[in-house]
Amino acid sequence: MKLASGKTSTFYFNMKPTMLDSEGAFLIATLILDQLEGIEADMVGGLEMGAVPIAASVATLAHTRGRKLPAFFVRKQAKEHGTKSLIEGLGPGETMSGKRVVIVEDVTTTGGSSIKAAEAIRAAGGTIVRVITIVDRLDGAADAFATASLPFHPLLTLNDFKT
């Protein structure tokens, strides 16, 4: 299979059916929120499209726990109409300036998608407090995140799926 990174692999993780399933979304959000215990964060999100259902589930479940953690997403390109926003989910007059942000992603290979989202957040004045992926393919993302000074915490890795 060809991956978003451009690499090919015999392992393909399609997390969309799990992320969009009510039980799967609940479990993923639970694991992410458990990992965020004690971490000060103002928003959760990442690059469209993979981060959107994750961030929405985390924001929803956070509310049931009494925690305010709204979702956002970073577009791959700013819209050419309407607000022309690159970052979506902010209220009127709200900015990323000073916000502590958690980046989420479904599957991470090289980290490119999360790094792109992090760069947009940093350019808008936000601080990345954590990058969380559901599955790290162990294909260079950890090193890329370390180089970019991004604290990376996968829920699972490729090794969890090998028999």
pTM of the model: 0.91
Of 76, 81, 27, the residue nearest 52 (C-alpha): 76
Domain residue spans in the chain? Answer: 16-161
pLDDT, tens only, 35-66: 999 999 999 999 998 899 999 999 999 999 99
How deeply is 103 buried, as exposed, middle or buried, from its count of CB atoms within 10 A (0-12, 13-18, 19+)? buried
pLDDT, tens only, 62-79: 999 999 999 999 998 766
Instruction: Say whether 12 sits in a helix, a strand or coil.
Output: coil
Q: ∠ CA 5-161-139 to the nearest 5 degrees?
A: 30
pLDDT attached to residue 3: 64
> How many Cβ atoms sit within 10 Å of the Cβ of residue 115?
21
Q: What is the CATH number of domain 16-161?
A: 3.40.50.2020
pLDDT band at 161 (very low <50, low <70, confident <90, very high): confident
